[in-house]
Amino acid sequence: MTSGPQTTPAPIGPNVEPNADAPDATTPADPTALPSQRNVKGDLRAFLEQLLRLQCETARAAAGLVYLAPTEARKPGVAARFARDPQHGPSLLEGPAARALEQVATRALERIERTGELGIQAEHLRLPSARDTFYGSEPAWTVLAAPLAAAGRVEGVSVLVLDTRQAPPTHEAVERVSLTSARFEAFLWEQQCLAEAQQKGMLRETLELLDAAQQAINAHAMAGVLCHELQRRFGATRASVGIERHHRVRVLAVGGSDDPDRRSQAVQLIEDAMDECLAQDAEVLFPAPPELEADPGARRVSRAHEALARHGTPSTVLSLPLRFEGEALGAITLERDAQDPFPPGAVVLLRLVAEYAGPALVTRQLADRGPFRVTRDGVRALGSLVVGPRHTAVKLVLLLILVTLLAAALVPIPSRVAATGEVRAGMSRTISAPFAGYLAIVEAEPGDEIRIGQPLVRMDTSELRLQIAEFEGQRLTAVTERDDANAARELARARLATARIAEIDAQLELLRDRVDRAVIRAPIDGVVARGDLEPFIGALVQPDRPLLELVTPERLVTVRLSERDAARVRPGDAARFTPRATPDVRLPMTIRRVNPAAEIDAGRNIYFAEAEVDPNDPRAAALRPGSTGTVRVHDGRTTALRWLLAPLVDEVRMRLWW
């Protein structure tokens, strides 16, 4: 049989578990399987046994077995066995011989997977039996491996053992085995058609039931119609629908009763059974079938259902949860006579009805609410979302973020202006040569502490003194000429001599002044900051070249402020300075003045401010002029949120003229 153009037969599922140790072993029925799947399980095992019997009769095989291939939901193993020869057959299906046949089936499946050929394979083997006692005395057999395929997919292999001592297998026998193997695909197609028909019937039944329930005017009436239809269609003695309210299920409707008394014992037992169903979020059937009791994963707590079943006439109780958006919000409880329990097919159909009835009933209940109830439920849902047990990690993270934002917006913190600063002395003096001359003696070096008036450098005055002696001789000559002219009453010559004397006196005064200034003295108390003149002794120095730089112990810091921060800094503001050389030091300062005019630096406007370091701080003496660091100017208080967003807000205002 060939497959159709649009569909393929469903593969063998996990409901047919092969068992190599027991030929007639079956697995417990799956309570969640569709009825068609349960029929497939029983029918498929029976079909495989019948198919194997037919193949053994056709090929005159002594024995055979069906080996199913492994899938994601099924382990490999033997699904059916048949011994045609009562003398040799049973021994071939147990012990070492059976394991050898399973190996033949495994090799056949591997070859088919590797080559894709679906032909029958034949092997000649010696199969040991329990009566063989010597190695090599085993009888020889011919083993045929016929693949069982459906829609080109191999599901297993039929392994047939032929006794070649009686008659070798003919070509016709092999062909008949191949033809009988094709019945496997036809069987799967038949089962799939039956399953689809049953599923369509269940879907039609569900839609008809929901359509009848949807005709009601409100949720309460809808629940009543649903109970009535469930009783009528499934032969239940009583059907009840309940909705969860305040963590307890409340009966919304009971079949056959327009207004059930919630204080009655029967209604309380029904609500307890519904609570038990919702607590486990699974359907509960009491009494449970034997196949459910045998499966630990399908067992349910059913104390409340047992109490309801024993109340009044003994009955079978089934509860199914009603879900909406994946959350169980209600339950359906059905009671049926204990002598007529719910059939497996009805349980599956009721499960389908509950899956569709839950959203429909909850949606209708939500639509029936008034404005006040809508607002109330919204507030409750929000409160449950905020303080409920779900999404705890997310709530903690959101709470932490909220607390952080509130703290950032409300808790005041010191406001600081960050800037760079450069250390300089409170007062500095540059010492230059008083005149062009040669350096004679250097009495101070960089780092020396100097007192005011202390000699620093001495210039060479030997040439000056020679010039003074020369001019003094010229003056004596000029005085003699003047006196002679006065004696001779030569007034003109006397005036010339007098002018010459005045000129020489001026030169002498200049030279004597230079001699006096040849000793360069400190103008202030301080420290020699620059000027290592030892290598220049005897060298010619010019007045325009600085020789030494003296600085006072007081320290000032020049602060470079950006255009945005300059308006926040005012004279008198407190500040702190951290040198780059010693990041652990925080020196207190006070802003003395802020330059009103900006200066261009690297294409930006920079405002310079001057800050005075506290002179009483002993750490200030360690600051060296020219060193740089970071300045923090305190300009009041702010909040962390404002401190973070202020630059962004200002930038937006500048760009959008806000």
The whole-number pLDDT of residue 168 equals 59
Dump pLDDT digits (tens) for 43-79: 778 888 888 888 888 888 888 899 888 877 678 888 8
The whole-number pLDDT of residue 272 equals 92
- Top pLDDT among 67 and 208 is at 67
Q: Which two tokens stand for residue 93?
A: 């299906």
Residue 340 CA to residue 235 CA, distance in Å, equals: 9
pTM above 0.85, yes or no: no
Q: Which residue has the tokens 């021994």?
A: 91
Dump pLDDT digits (tens) for 494-533: 888 888 888 888 888 888 888 888 888 888 888 887 777 7
Dump pLDDT digits (tens) for 355-398: 888 888 888 888 888 888 888 888 888 877 777 777 888 888 98
DSSP code, position 74: B
The mean predicted confidence, pLDDT, of the chain is 81
Percent of the chain with pLDDT over 70: 89
pLDDT band at 34 (very low <50, low <70, confident <90, very high): very low
Class of domain 215-373: alpha beta
Query: 35-195 and 215-373 share one CATH topology?
Result: yes
Task: Say yes or no to pLDDT of 36 above 50.
Answer: no
Domain edges within the chain? 35-195, 215-373, 430-545, 554-656
What integer is the mean pLDDT of 324-334?
89
Residue 635 CA to residue 568 CA, distance in Å, equals: 6
Class of domain 554-656: mainly beta
What integer is the mean pLDDT of 91-104?
84
Q: Write the CA distances from 501 to 84, 94, 273, 490, 492, integer angstroms.
A: 162, 152, 139, 17, 14
Percent of the chain with pLDDT over 90: 9
Residue 596 CA to residue 564 CA, distance in Å, equals: 14
Task: Say yes or no to pLDDT of 200 above 80.
Answer: no
Q: Which CATH number fits domain 35-195: 3.40.50.720, 3.30.450.40, 3.60.20.10, 3.40.50.10860?
A: 3.30.450.40
Task: Say yes or no to pLDDT of 248 above 60.
Answer: yes
Dump pLDDT digits (tens) for 124-141: 877 776 555 555 566 778
The whole-number pLDDT of residue 333 equals 93
The whole-number pLDDT of residue 198 equals 65
Q: Which two tokens stand for residue 271?
A: 């609500």
| Distant-in-sequence, close-in-space partners of 446: CB < 8 Å, separation ≥ 6 | 528, 529, 530, 531, 532
Task: Say yes or no to pLDDT of 242 above 80.
Answer: yes
Give the amino acid at 614: D
Residue of 426, 466, 434, 431 lying closest to 557 (CA atoms): 426
The whole-number pLDDT of residue 73 equals 66
Residue 438 CA to residue 417 CA, distance in Å, equals: 52
| Environment class of 80 (CB within 10 Å of its CB; exposed 0-12, middle 13-18, buried 19+) | buried
What integer is the mean pLDDT of 430-436?
83
CB of 339 within 8 A of CB of 287? Answer: no
Length of the chain: 658
pLDDT band at 317 (very low <50, low <70, confident <90, very high): very high
Of 169-183, 455-469, 556-570, the one with minimum mean pLDDT is 169-183
